[in-house]
């Protein structure tokens, strides 16, 4: 059996290694257009920033090392230019010699990946306008920085690569501005959770131009003007397009393979395409979202590796299935860690799900043990069924641990309430006896059983402020003095029982504290004395962070630039 693989990196290289482990007899040939068969995409910004110093550290395998270990014929700088399913061959061009030839196959795996999205804008091809996807792209940017010593950069796009690159360029001392059409960075997060990311980015001197549309690029005064719709241009010494990636599926389209969302290759759960004996994996394929069941294109290394293994299993006679992509991810943003899994609340509602969420602000470990930091957690669930839909966590230590537990819970089909039952490891330096994940489960259970009712940030503007309800802040006088919401009267929770006479009977009470814990206790006190009480999800800390972010974004829009 002869297997030809188009593309290396995550999906293709994994498939090749798995094929060899399953069959010593298979002939395996990999054609990779770039000069590198397997490299760490996610490490590229950190090489530019100098965190990773040795360029060889980016290369996980070389053609020579791969051949020694697996006896796989890895041919770099070879571009597959056409597929011929009718005669089971591919056309190949050696990019170093110009030689063109056809290679036959019994089974074909397509792993072409994705390419940086490059809109058809004036000036996209300018020397100082870069993209970042391959090792070669990385070296071009690094060489330009070393030779020209740019002092400023504009990044078009605020996703994973854009944010990681912004941090690394800022650490090199550059003035950095991120321009993005949506009014938030990092679309896997809801806008309220993205506010914490914005705050961290701004605190390190990065300017955000959110809600702006890039219309082109022009060379001027030795640099580049980034042309914005309806606004003055931004000037920088270099520009990087990081507005996302597009499945690189031109070959598949020309060969008549079925394409779907965003031009991704349609595959079944065995990673088989619409054409017999052709498989596809990685960033180029359309998959099912594990939570919503809807078609999705999810460009992450984890899914690509799993898909490559599954394709290899099935080629060798197995019956491996891909259940869908969940989109679990984590990113370092200076000192902050931000992670997500499943679907956020925004996308859950777009998918037609009746979604709700709880927001909590637990400590990373036991409060009495030194060094604990507050994290912000948002757990999304389906109303009625309490099916766990997704989660977002932003904070410092312990964020990655919690998101992985929540990702496993979603995959296992647990409800949000069942999070309370998870038996998680505890010691004071690492967690609390009631882990934050358990706490989320307790909170959802309280909602489900009617122990407490909650109101959310989006409800704040609709609260009855004409005397039809009582708005109550149960923090300390010191906390209240540092900041509060107009119209909320102060009665600290520890003195609430003695001051119930100050509340008008028969009126609902909307209660707030710093994080949501003391206000929950206050709601239970109020309910025990006949009041209808609602607890504010997330507390004043959450409200203040989100509203401050909105003010800064709106102010920047009015003034033309983030400060």
Residues known to be catalytic:
42
CB of 184 closer than 8 Å to CB of 178: no
Tell me phi and psi for residue 527, to 5 degrees: -60, -35
Beta-strand relationship, 100-104 and 59-61: unpaired
Coil vs helix vs strand at 103? strand
As a whole number of angstroms, the distance between CA 99 and CA 92 comes to: 8
Q: Is the dihedral of CA 543, 547, 548, 549 positive or negative?
A: positive
Give 120's contacts (C-beta < 8 A, 6+ positions apart). none
Q: HSE of 18 in the Cβ direction (CA atoms, 13 Å)? A: 23
- Three-class SS string for 217-251? EEEECCEEEEEECCEEEEEECEEEECCCEEECCHH
Angstrom CA distances, 261 to 93, 182, 276, 424, stand at: 29, 21, 21, 39
Give 401's contacts (C-beta < 8 A, 6+ positions apart). none
Residue 399: its H or E element: helix 399-411
CB of 131 closer than 8 Å to CB of 157: no
Burial of 543 per CB tally in 10 Å (0-12, 13-18, 19+)? buried
Beta-bridge mates of residue 219 = 224
């Amino acid at each position: 059996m002869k297997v030809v693989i188009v593309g290396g990196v995550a999906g293709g290289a994994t498939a090749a290694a798995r094929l060899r482990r399953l069959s010593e007899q298979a002939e395996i040939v990999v054609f990779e257009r770039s000069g590198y068969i397997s490299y760490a995409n996610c490490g590229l910004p950190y090489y530019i920033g100098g965190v990773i110093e040795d360029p060889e550290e980016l290369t996980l395998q070389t053609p020579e090392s791969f051949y020694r270990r697996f006896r796989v014929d890895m041919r770099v700088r070879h571009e597959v230019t056409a597929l011929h399913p009718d005669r089971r061959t591919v056309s190949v061009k050696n990019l170093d010699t110009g030689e063109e030839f056809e290679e036959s196959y019994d089974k074909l795996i397509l792993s072409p990946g994705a390419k940086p999205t490059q809109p058809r804008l004036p000036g996209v091809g300018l020397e100082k306008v870069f993209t970042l996807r391959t090792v070669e792209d990385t070296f071009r940017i690094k060489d330009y920085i070393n030779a020209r010593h740019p002092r400023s950069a504009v990044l078009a796009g605020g996703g994973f690569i854009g944010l990681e690159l912004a941090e690394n360029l800022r650490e090199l001392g550059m003035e950095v501005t991120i321009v993005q059409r949506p009014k938030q960075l990092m679309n896997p997060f809801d806008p309220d959770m993205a506010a914490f990311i914005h705050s961290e980015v701004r605190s390190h001197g990065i300017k955000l131009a959110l809600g702006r549309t890039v219309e082109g690029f022009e060379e001027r005064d030795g640099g580049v003007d980034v042309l914005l719709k309806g606004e003055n241009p931004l000037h920088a010494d270099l520009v990087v397009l990081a507005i996302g990636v597009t499945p690189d599926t031109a070959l598949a389209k020309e060969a008549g393979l079925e394409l779907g969302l965003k031009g991704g290759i349609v595959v079944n759960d065995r990673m088989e395409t619409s054409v017999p004996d052709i498989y596809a994996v990685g960033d180029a394929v359309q998959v099912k979202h594990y939570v919503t069941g809807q078609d999705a294109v999810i460009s992450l290394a984890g899914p690509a590796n799993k898909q490559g293994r599954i394709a290899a299993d099935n080629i060798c006679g197995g019956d491996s299935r891909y259940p869908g992509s969940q989109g679990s991810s984590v990113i370092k943003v200076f000192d902050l860690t931000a992670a997500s899994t499943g679907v956020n609340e925004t996308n859950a509602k777009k998918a037609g799900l009746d979604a709700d969420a709880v927001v909590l602000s637990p400590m990373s470990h036991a409060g009495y043990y030194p060094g604990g930091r507050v994290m912000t957690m948002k757990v999304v669930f389906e109303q009625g069924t309490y099916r766990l839909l997704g989660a977002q966590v932003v904070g410092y230590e312990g964020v990655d641990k919690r998101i992985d537990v929540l990702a496993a819970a979603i995959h296992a089909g647990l409800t949000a309430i069942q999070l309370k039952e998870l038996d998680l490891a505890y010691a004071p330096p690492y967690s609390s006896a009631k882990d934050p994940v358990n706490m989320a489960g307790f909170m959802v259970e309280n909602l489900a059983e009617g122990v407490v009712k909650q109101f959310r940030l989006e409800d704040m503007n609709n609260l009855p402020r004409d005397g039809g309800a009582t708005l109550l802040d149960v923090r300390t006088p010191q906390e209240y003095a540092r900041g509060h919401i107009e119209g909320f009267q102060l009665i600290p929770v520890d003195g609430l029982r003695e001051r119930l006479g100050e509340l008008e009977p028969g009126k609902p009470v909307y209660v707030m504290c710093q994080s949501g814990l003391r206000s929950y206790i206050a709601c239970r006190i109020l309910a025990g004395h006949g009041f209808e009480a609602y607890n504010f999800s997330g507390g004043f800390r959450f409200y203040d962070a989100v509203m401050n972010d909105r003010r800064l974004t709106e102010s920047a829009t009015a003034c033309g630039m983030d400060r």
